[in-house]
Amino acid sequence: MMSAKTFSLDIRKDGIGILTMDVPGESMNTLKASFADEIRTLLAEVKGNGDLIGLVIVSGKKDSFVAGADIAMLAACTSAQDAEALSRAGQDVFAEIEALGIPVIAAIHGPCLGGGLELALACHGRVVTDHGKTVLGLPEVQLGLLPGSGGTQRLPRLIGVAKALDLMLTGKQVRAKQARKLGLVDDMVPPSILLEAAIKLAKKGKPRHHLKRDLQGKVLETNKFGRKVLFDQARKGVKAKTRGNYPAPERIIEVVRIGVEEGMQAGLLAEARHFGELVMTPESAALRSLFFATTEMKKEVSYQGAEPRKVGHAAVLGGGLMGGGIAFVTATKAGVPVRIKDVASAGIGNAMRYSYDLLARKLKRRQLLRSELEKQMSLLTGTLDYSGFHRVDMVVEAVFEDINLKHQMVQDVERECGEHTVFASNTSSLPIHQIASAATHPERVVGLHYFSPVDKMPLAEIIPHAGTSAETVATTLAFARAQGKTPIVVKDEAGFYVNRILAPYINEAMRLLTEGEKIEHVDEALVKFGFPVGPIQLLDEVGIDTGTKIIPVLEAAYGDRFSPPANIVSAILKDDRKGRKNERGFYLYGAKGRKSKKQVDPSVYGLISTTGQGKLSAVQCAERCVMMMLNEAARCFDEQVIKSARDGDIGAVFGIGFPPFLGGPFRYMDTLGAGEVVAILQRLATQYGPRFTPCDELLQMAERGQTFWPARETVLVS
């Protein structure tokens, strides 16, 4: 049986061929190795047809061009040679397109990413639509890879080395307007005339591209010495960012350098070789596993067989920092109208201001039109009573952590809202079943725990209590996804999941301070390990009062292992230090616009009673903090606080910035092996005390030689 074709060629009367790509049965186009033969057959047809004067490549999908290459292909590679062969095959097909005698134009609407952009770069010209969905980029670095189908060679030749490196090292996506400015595309038109414009361009013959360099480009890119400076700078910048934890960015710089210095062919050989080697690195395997896991989660629409209800209107109770952030993502990301209720008009004003400031920033950066800002702001309304609540489908409560107040809120919402309205609480320290105990309909009460700042942190924890209905959970999951969050479902126990594994980690960092380690030494140690910020700076960022509120709750629930070190936190709070929010914390907050590194506030040390001189290396500091977190994560797995190792890894990476290149705490423990994790914990327990005693789950796993991730899944995703 012939399989359904992905490519079709339609030859018009005026001699322009329209090559449409439409992968059967998929919502997005992705490039697969198996397409090579099909494309070659078509290209042979194009070459053999003397009437053709130009070729336009378009997508048959409604809102996307080509989202990238299908990375599932990489799972089948057993060696670097296999992966290198994939890269060479992609390079060869694209070289054939580039070598055609007639002009080839890519007509791009929607995402054009990774292999999709490499295909567009192999064409002689590119037209894009001026539409919000049209974005271009090479995100391979985010999967621990480099563009492997000629992108590292064609992009610098088109837009210059510095700009090309910026796109490839960040993996960022640029909109149509920026793409035009960069010289990445030849023309930008409304979607309705995309095909017309591409045909017109094809009829003009092959577009000539003159690389327009800015002054810096002229100075640095046109001579050997300047280029050396440019590549050295780039390497320095990468080192500072990756701390040597990610191999891909350095390889990208190297491959671009070879291409510039030794020519295109040498560059392509180096690209394929390095691509093959990167596919086999543990860092790339971990990043790809996270990518698959999050993609898989997005597809899980129903929950225990229940479908989500549509949320047409939402409301937020409380106009504080969290309430403002929740209202913002509901209006701007989910596009759902939000009522903000607060007891004081100042609270409503603050929440509105929060959204306005974020949008105004986007407006300034030209990421948003004035009309879009106004449209998004119009979705936010405020009220001091419950007017307008009769039509609300979802209420998110973000008031003070006081059980009586929350009970009041549940009763108010049940009185004012419809029969089906979900009451979701953004509590981090109160049990959900306690909040639900005041409800007539406890099945519609659920926890929905966001992380601060809400507009930036991608994770949300959804916490059903024993009586929450499956429909309520499904509706809340869909609502959080619409807000751009990655939600995980966790059990209703003290600290839920993220805060529970974070608390021992932060406690241990505090303990290091009492032993005489310097604040910056502890933070630096964990940044070097791979966290985005150190634990003490993290406390400053989220607020020392907020960040430590959960510790007594956990101590009450689980005993001594959660006890914080001697009065250090209370001494700091007593001194009115809350961190960034009142610009008094462990670090100094002074002059705006300082680019230098954050400085520790030396007066803090007067509040910490130390018992030693601090002699530990960075590796020893990191090990103690991380091992406390891993041991707690294993307990959460055993107690089914999380549904699977997958959810636990996603929760830790997106909720607290656990190093993505390690894939998350469970993948990291599997990499080390349960036996090794137990041995390290036992060594630390002997040195520092029983809080490091490995939990039963780890001991049993070590004994049986088990892993957290089932073997099947690992094969699937590594």
DSSP state, residue 391: G
CA gap 418, 398 in Å, rounded: 20
What phi and psi values does residue 597 have, to the nearest 5 degrees?
-65, 155
What is the chain's Cα-based Rg?
28
Which helix (H) or strand (E) segment is 630 a member of?
helix 618-638
Q: Residue 595 is encoded by which pair of tokens?
A: 């680019």
Cβ-Cβ contacts under 8 Å for 651 (sequence gap 6 or more): 459, 461, 488, 490, 497, 498, 642, 664
Q: Among 667, 668, 692, 665, which residue's Cα sits nearest to residue 678?
A: 692
CB 233 within 8 A of CB 207: no
Helix axes of 248-262 and 264-279: crossing angle, nearest 10 degrees: 160
Q: Which amino acid is at 573?
A: L
Residues labelled catalytic: 461
Q: Which residues pair with 642 in a beta bridge?
A: 490
List helix spans (H) across 243-367: 248-262, 264-279, 282-299, 321-332, 345-364
Q: Is 192 exposed, middle or buried (0-12, 13-18, 19+ CB in 10 A)?
A: exposed
CA gap 284, 278 in Å, rounded: 7
Q: Residue 693 is encoded by which pair of tokens?
A: 């005693």
Q: Residue 683 is encoded by which pair of tokens?
A: 């060594």
Q: Among 297, 306, 336, which residue's Cα sits nearest to residue 474?
A: 306
Which helix (H) or strand (E) segment is 158 a member of?
helix 151-159
Q: Which residue has the tokens 């009460």?
A: 445
DSSP state, residue 640: T
CB 114 within 8 A of CB 139: yes
Q: Which residue has the tokens 């201001």?
A: 353
Q: How many CB atoms lie within 10 A of CB 466?
A: 10
CA gap 481, 127 in Å, rounded: 32
Map residue 490 onto helix, strand or coil.
Answer: strand
> How far is C-alpha 246 from the geometric centre of its chain's CA atoms?
16
Q: Residue 106 is encoded by which pair of tokens?
A: 């890519």
Q: Is 295 exposed, middle or buried (0-12, 13-18, 19+ CB in 10 A)?
A: exposed
